[in-house]
């Protein structure tokens, strides 16, 4: 009888996986087993994991009544820690109670983690995402999660053939070397994008409206033929917006179907579209709170009776109305469009219902996250007055100004309730970014040859928004040193002030037939006239020395030989609406200046210059930028224009396709460069991403350049204009802008110096 009981208990323990027990443990007086108390708990088989870790993760305690269900839960709990590959419990009955031993088998300890086979993603990026590290126990659950994380990263890049082999190489000490072998495969591209139900637009029209692209030459530049599930959702919205902007008020996307080919090389996308009829606007009315008055609000409505319905125009109207009402202090104004369709003639009545909410004042402006920068720097950029009536326009302008400071990665503005119903707080949350930069290195360019360059700059000195920089460059042909300091809010006024000290030594006699040194200082003040228009006035004093002339130097060059001083005052006006200074994608930049030298110094001349550039975002990847500039300089008081101020074109940042000083005025007798008194140039640039290059700051450019230089009594006609076209690569490297250009001159004149390939480090883009 007792033998059968022992056998039955043993089978139950074996099936449950709870324990391995000697028959004599539970065999005696089974009816009283439930009352046996635990005398001790031990851990056996652990090498890396402390026994205390095991005991902390179980709920069974010494002195407890033996509970097999509780022990079962303890075993499951230990498995969940991920430390053990096997666990069983051994029990031994003694007169003083039950003695339990948790026998564990650990997962191996990781000696090293290696990744092989990765080309599309760097090891540094992959290891940064891994949770498993050397010195940790190999947890299978964590390993699976790491593999899934890597796989998701590759899927975002379009590698749907990718898989990972896990290789575990044991060491003599029991640890393992873990290697993840990545098999990337090929990128899966979008082969075909189809549309079902479209009659108002052709397939080609709709393909041009969405972000995804079929695999073709253009998509090769942008990677937009790589499937992205989040992009698919955006594509469906873009298709619907395209229809609704063309009058299809009821248009919707019934489904978006994604099919993957069996070899995982191609995706096929299909959008099923319900178009519905086209609607025209029969009437547009405004109702609700007329703030400031109906006449003012009606002028902001861009949809009128008889127009084809357009979601884009309606959204613009709603936004403009909301902003205008908000400018009267109504921070929570809401404009709701209401539609009444006439199904018989496919027209729609639109009523814009305005709820102004309550008028509020900004009780207090609070700045958070601004650990590095003084609050005053943030506050002086705000266009919303503390204590003043709320204004939607001023709020938007404040955020724009804060972003243009280039001190923050992110700017967030919220408006919680204030101390009274008519008051709000304005919370300005900023995320600082690094504003200091140091670089040192060597380089080589066609103009300067070999050089060593070092630069130290800080865009937020002492947390006050001061901008300071010191840089030096020593090369075979040039030695340049410059130090500058700019205060954007000089004397706590809305004006900027800067001072710079410079020294230059130039040995460009390969191009210019002379050597040139100069040093001096300058100061400039900028006074904003409006939010985008700035008046500038500056003064520069320069002492120069022209020497090293050849024996056959022209008379003009000989007259310029020796030391000279220049004292120059410049006045300028600048209009700037660009969204970024370094990499603008939209906006305009126009400036004009008048300079006069002669208030002291030996040189007397006056100069006029103007330039204008525009930036148009064709889409998120391509930027079109036309640019024009012109300059004129003339001496007075019997003085000639100094050689260093005369004009030449050629090289990167000027007229590409021509050598430095390649388009200029030369002495008729000697052919030496003397420069012109007037210059005009223009360019058309198309910036685009470089295929499969994801490094920040890289981009390509296709361009057409044209320009001309003339002497004082020369006429610059269209027939003498030089022109070139080509391609380039640009990179905002840590040492400065790097440019590579391949250009072909298409209009030249005798004596021009052409150059097909050019490169430079530190030239302007």
Find the helix packing angle between 392-404 and 311-326, rounded to 10°. 100
Q: Are residue 671 and residue 731 in the same domain, yes or no?
A: yes
Token digits of residue 208? 């041009």
Q: Are residue 560 and residue 665 in the same domain, yes or no?
A: yes
**How many other C-beta atoms can be found within 10 angstroms of the C-beta atom of residue 381?**
22
Q: Are residue 412 and residue 560 in the same domain, yes or no?
A: no
Q: Are residue 456 and residue 546 in the same domain, yes or no?
A: yes
541 to each of 40, 157, 273, 526, 604, how far by Cα in Å?
A: 91, 55, 69, 18, 13
Q: Are residue 34 and residue 56 in the same domain, yes or no?
A: yes
Domain with 377 in it: what CATH number?
3.10.20.310
Domain with 705 in it: what CATH number?
2.40.160.50
> pLDDT tier at 319 (50, 70, 90 boundaries)?
very high
> pLDDT tier at 457 (50, 70, 90 boundaries)?
confident
- Side-chain-side CA neighbours of residue 334 (13 Å): 6
DSSP β-ladder status, 533-547 and 280-288:
unpaired
Q: Are residue 158 and residue 64 in the same domain, yes or no?
A: no
> Pick from 759, 749, 731, 744: which is nearest to 705 by CA?
744
Token digits of residue 142? 């964590």
The model's pTM is: 0.65
Q: Are residue 665 and residue 536 in the same domain, yes or no?
A: yes
Provide long-range contacts, Cβ within 8 A and 24+ apart, for 235-240.
235/210, 235/211, 235/269, 235/271, 236/271, 238/209, 238/210, 238/211, 239/195, 239/206, 239/209, 239/210, 239/271, 239/273
13 in Cβ contact with 20 (< 8 Å): yes
What does the radius of gyration of the chain's CA atoms come to, in whole angstroms? 37
> pLDDT tier at 130 (50, 70, 90 boundaries)?
confident
Residue range 644-654: mean pLDDT, rounded: 89
Domain hosting 194: range is 189-274
- Side-chain-side CA neighbours of residue 139 (13 Å): 17
Q: Are residue 475 and residue 545 in the same domain, yes or no?
A: yes
Coil/strand/helix, residue 31: helix
Q: Which residue spans within 514-622 are E strands per DSSP? A: 515-528, 533-547, 562-576, 587-601, 605-617
- In this predicted structure, what is the pLDDT of residue 34? 45
Q: Are residue 119 and residue 155 in the same domain, yes or no?
A: yes
For residue 519, pLDDT over 50 is answered with yes
Q: Are residue 99 and residue 157 in the same domain, yes or no?
A: no
Alpha carbons 472 and 297: distance in angstroms, whole number: 57
DSSP β-ladder status, 189-196 and 266-274:
parallel
> pLDDT tier at 695 (50, 70, 90 boundaries)?
low
Domain boundary residue among 67, 86, 106?
106
- In this predicted structure, what is the pLDDT of residue 14? 37
Helix, strand, coil share of the chain (percent; to 5): 20, 45, 35
Lowest-pLDDT range of 21-30, 258-267, 502-511: 21-30
173 in Cβ contact with 186 (< 8 Å): no
Find the helix packing angle between 229-244 and 311-326, rounded to 10°. 90
Lowest-pLDDT range of 184-198, 582-596, 747-761: 747-761
Cβ-based burial of 489 (10 A; exposed 0-12, middle 13-18, buried ≥19): middle
Residue range 38-44: mean pLDDT, rounded: 91
DSSP β-ladder status, 515-528 and 533-547:
antiparallel
**How many other C-beta atoms can be found within 10 angstroms of the C-beta atom of residue 210?**
21
For residue 94, pLDDT over 80 is answered with yes
Torsions phi, psi for 397 (to 5 deg): -70, -35
Domain boundary residue among 274, 309, 324?
274
> Pick from 16, 34, 123, 132: which is nearest to 74 by CA?
16
514 in Cβ contact with 503 (< 8 Å): no
**How many other C-beta atoms can be found within 10 angstroms of the C-beta atom of residue 706?**
20
> pLDDT tier at 1 (50, 70, 90 boundaries)?
very low
Q: Are residue 177 and residue 233 in the same domain, yes or no?
A: no
Torsions phi, psi for 755 (to 5 deg): -150, 125
For residue 160, pLDDT over 50 is answered with yes
**How many other C-beta atoms can be found within 10 angstroms of the C-beta atom of residue 298?**
13
Alpha carbons 763 and 651: distance in angstroms, whole number: 10
How many separate domains does the chain show? 6
Q: Are residue 673 and residue 543 in the same domain, yes or no?
A: yes
Residue range 416-443: mean pLDDT, rounded: 82
Domain boundary residue among 183, 202, 234?
183
For residue 510, pLDDT over 60 is answered with no
């Amino acid at each position: 009888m007792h033998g059968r009981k022992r056998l039955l208990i043993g089978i139950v323990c074996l099936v449950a996986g709870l324990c391995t027990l000697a028959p004599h443990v539970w065999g005696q007086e089974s009816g009283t087993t439930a009352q046996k108390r635990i005398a001790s708990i031990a851990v056996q088989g652990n090498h890396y994991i402390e026994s205390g870790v095991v005991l902390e993760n179980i709920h069974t305690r010494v002195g407890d009544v033996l509970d097999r269900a509780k022990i079962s839960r303890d075993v499951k709990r230990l498995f969940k820690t991920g430390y053990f590959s096997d666990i069983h419990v051994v029990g031994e009955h003694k007169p003083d109670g039950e003695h339990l031993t948790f026998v564990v088998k650990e997962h191996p300890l990781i000696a090293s983690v290696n990744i092989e086979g990765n080309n599309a993603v760097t090891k540094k990026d992959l290891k940064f995402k891994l949770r498993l590290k050397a010195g940790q126990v190999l947890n299978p659950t964590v390993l699976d999660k790491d593999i899934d994380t890597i796989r998701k990263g590759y899927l975002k890049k379009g590698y749907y053939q990718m898989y990972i082999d896990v290789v575990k190489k044991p060491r003599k000490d029991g640890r393992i070397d873990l290697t993840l072998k990545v098999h990337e495969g090929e990128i899966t591209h979008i082969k075909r994008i189809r549309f079902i139900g479209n009659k108002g637009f052709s397939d080609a029209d709709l393909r041009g409206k969405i972000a995804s692209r079929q695999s073709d030459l253009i998509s090769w530049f942008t990677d937009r033929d790589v499937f992205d599930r989040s992009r698919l959702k955006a594509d469906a919205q873009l298709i619907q917006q395209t229809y609704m902007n063309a009058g299809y008020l009821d248009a919707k996307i019934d489904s978006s179907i994604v099919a993957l080919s069996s070899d995982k090389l191609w995706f096929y996308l299909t959008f099923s579209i319900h178009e519905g009829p086209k609607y025209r606007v029969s009437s547009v009315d405004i109702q609700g709170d007329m703030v400031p008055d109906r006449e003012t609000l009606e002028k902001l409505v861009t949809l009128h009776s008889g127009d084809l319905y357009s979601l884009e125009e309606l959204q613009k109207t709603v936004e403009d109305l909301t902003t205008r009402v908000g400018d009267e202090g109504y921070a929570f104004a809401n404009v709701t469009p209401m539609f009444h369709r006439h199904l018989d003639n496919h027209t729609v009545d639109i009523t814009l219902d305005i709820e102004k909410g309550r008028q509020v004042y900004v009780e207090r402006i609070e700045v958070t996250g601004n650990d590095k920068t003084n609050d005053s720097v943030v506050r002086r950029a705000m266009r919303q007055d503390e204590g003043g009536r709320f204004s939607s326009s001023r709020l938007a302008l404040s955020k724009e100004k804060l972003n243009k400071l280039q001190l923050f990665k992110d700017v967030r503005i919220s408006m919680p309730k204030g101390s009274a119903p008519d008051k709000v707080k304005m919370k300005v949350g900023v995320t600082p970014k690094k504003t200091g930069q140091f670089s040192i290195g060597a380089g080589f360019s066609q103009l300067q040859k070999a050089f060593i360059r070092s630069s130290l700059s800080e865009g937020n000195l002492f947390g006050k928004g001061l901008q300071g920089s010191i840089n030096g460059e020593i090369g075979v042909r040039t030695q340049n040193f410059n130090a500058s300091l700019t205060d954007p809010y000089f004397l706590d006024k809305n004006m900027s002030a800067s001072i710079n000290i410079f020294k230059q030594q130039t040995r460009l006699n390969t191009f210019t037939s002379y050597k040139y040194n100069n040093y001096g200082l300058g100061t400039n003040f900028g006074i904003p006239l409006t939010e985008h228009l700035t008046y500038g006035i500056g003064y520069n004093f320069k002492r120069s020395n022209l020497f090293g002339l050849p024996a056959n130097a022209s008379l003009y060059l000989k007259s310029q030989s020796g030391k000279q001083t220049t004292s120059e005052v410049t006045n300028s006006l600048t209009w700037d609406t660009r969204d970024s200074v370094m990499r603008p994608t939209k906006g305009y930049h126009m400036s004009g200046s008048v300079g006069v030298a002669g208030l002291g110094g030996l040189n007397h001349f006056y100069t006029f210059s103007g330039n204008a550039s525009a930036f148009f975002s064709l889409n998120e990847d391509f930027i079109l930028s036309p640019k024009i500039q012109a300059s004129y300089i003339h001496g007075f008081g019997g003085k000639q224009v100094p050689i260093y101020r005369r004009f030449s074109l050629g090289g990167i940042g000027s007229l590409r396709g021509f050598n430095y000083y390649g388009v200029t005025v030369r002495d008729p007798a000697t052919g030496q460069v003397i420069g012109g008194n007037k210059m005009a140039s223009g360019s058309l640039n198309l910036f685009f991403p470089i295929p499969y290059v994801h490094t920040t700051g890289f981009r390509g450019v296709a361009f057409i350049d044209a320009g001309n230089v003339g002497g004082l009594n020369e006429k610059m006609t269209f027939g003498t204009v030089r022109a070139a076209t080509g391609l380039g690569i640009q990179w905002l490297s840590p040492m400065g802008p790097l440019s590579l250009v391949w250009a072909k001159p298409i209009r030249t004149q005798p004596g021009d110096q052409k150059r097909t390939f050019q490169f430079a480090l530190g030239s302007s883009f």
